[in-house]
Structure 1
């Protein structure tokens, strides 16, 4: 089988790319190692930047997003047992974010791909990518018990941190930058109304906490925990009590979360990771295959979407004109935005979390930084502009 673009990975990046290519008249095949049920239930991000929302609407995947997504105009920071709201529209030229779970984005894109797009093969295990430096690279995979080969004009690796696409870039030509953080997140889903209309990020001497949501009746909450924590160690009551303690306010001592049955518990390690370059020959990397951010800045899904939006433009330009200049500059174009998002995610993570060996001096520096956000228009605008999303690059110098 041959296709113009072979896409490894049927998560949001791979599916959005396939949809964008379809609307541009470019054929593709998507290979996903997991089954459809797993992909549609995989819990990940829930905050969409405006550029991500715009791309989903433009490719026909915006109907349910517009009907069910929750538009947010800000976040609340809690620190030193006080609260401060960061208003996005007034600080970031009217930009907002939308809460719409990755599970729902994926469901929408899968439905469109199966109804209108090219082949989407679930349980297709990719073993290797060969010929990256030729004009016809190949993807070797197993599907329905048979070894198969897909040849392509271009291969795009959207197969995540543990995928095989990154190995197509020779080890001696790629550089890895990484930071592993000394804490993790214990994340829960609960059948309980959200604690507030917007997300609450809390810094406390007990550790970080985040109150988010998936819908008006389902809360998504996180606690900072030591690396290696077993979720089974945390009873439901212990989780709720610890969340209340970390969100505590002197001005409102009676404030409590709305409790309900906890339906899911998981522990998420925290790391920052970038692989350079994001391309080699006819193989291009996007999303988690090229970079990982800690979730504190809500950048993971949005960075992946930005990658494939830039890549779809480059592939469309090549398909229409034969020119490869945008494809050749793809890695450099995306990496400028990637590193800004890495920096913002690092800032949010290290400012809000309490490290195991943290000194009182370092804690006071964190509170001072948060207080500056609360009292300085410029500091608040910097946070708001990065959180709602920096402009998408449009070309080699964009």
Structure 2
């Protein structure tokens, strides 16, 4: 489908905004091309089961970002109860003190406190606030909001209309899991598991499988559709708008946001570098449509549900276009490990360390055995594949198997760097195990 995006005046390139559920993931996001990260502290964030960052780690993330001209936004987007209000001011004052680049809020009361206790910090509005039209956007701008993350229910033309009618910064999700509820406001988890999604405790019941049971026939589970696996009435596909980045950039969107503070390092590195490469192509060669096509391989090699374009083009995908027929994820690869600084390099900074080769230290995340193929992911979009021949523990003892959460040394014939992400195919794992 071809879209006619409105012509906008020249402005800064859109920001690529990545999730960071931990300080390590913050570093990985920056290494692979994110302009900014969004993350949460130990409270007041809608991802309570992410590792999140304690106060010292938040300060470290800001220091890391600012020395490389990147940004950190802190999610304070909980739907606050009165019991939260007394605890929020000191946290907001701390965030202003460490000079975070923005606060992400959804609750008007939290916004009032943010403006009072962190007056020098820009405030962004979360998608949970359900901004669906230009008048709402202007209203929030009058309350001191600098940027609005638009509701995911909007179509391409509706977003274009809001862009033409407003001057504040507009942000939108372009990749990741889609919530079945209205821009994330959901009561299902609270009812079924006692865990409120609106307080960061979602148990994701929309991903469960459901069957119909008639009152007088207990134990007889009837599929609503003719499907032996049951019916998945809430189970949405994952969002992927990498092919639409050119049109959305031309429209004047200020920031493209990737979902996934609960996702792992392989997802983060793969998705961030794919969108980074696609955005750079949009900027340097805007005449090339479908700039993300060559990057889809990275997106297909992370655990995901089938991709869709969400509601960007309305109902053009048909009534089932955004519904996933099973609860299964598609996964061909897994995280093999991360390159780490050797313990003998004590005191060095992983983020600024020079390239390394020879025998490098790897933190193992999946079981490794000789004969496996390892893909080393580079930020420029290239990948080096290494056939694992031999490796040793940090004491120099040769190993026949390396288990997760251990560190080993392996010979690498190309330059690598600390926190480089290494993946391996699940097929390679199986074949190596059979040997």
Q: What TM-score do you get using the length of structure 1 for normalisation? A: 0.30
Q: TM-score, normalised by structure 2?
A: 0.28
Answer 1 or 2: which has greater strand percent. 1
Larger C-alpha radius of gyration, 1 or 2?
2
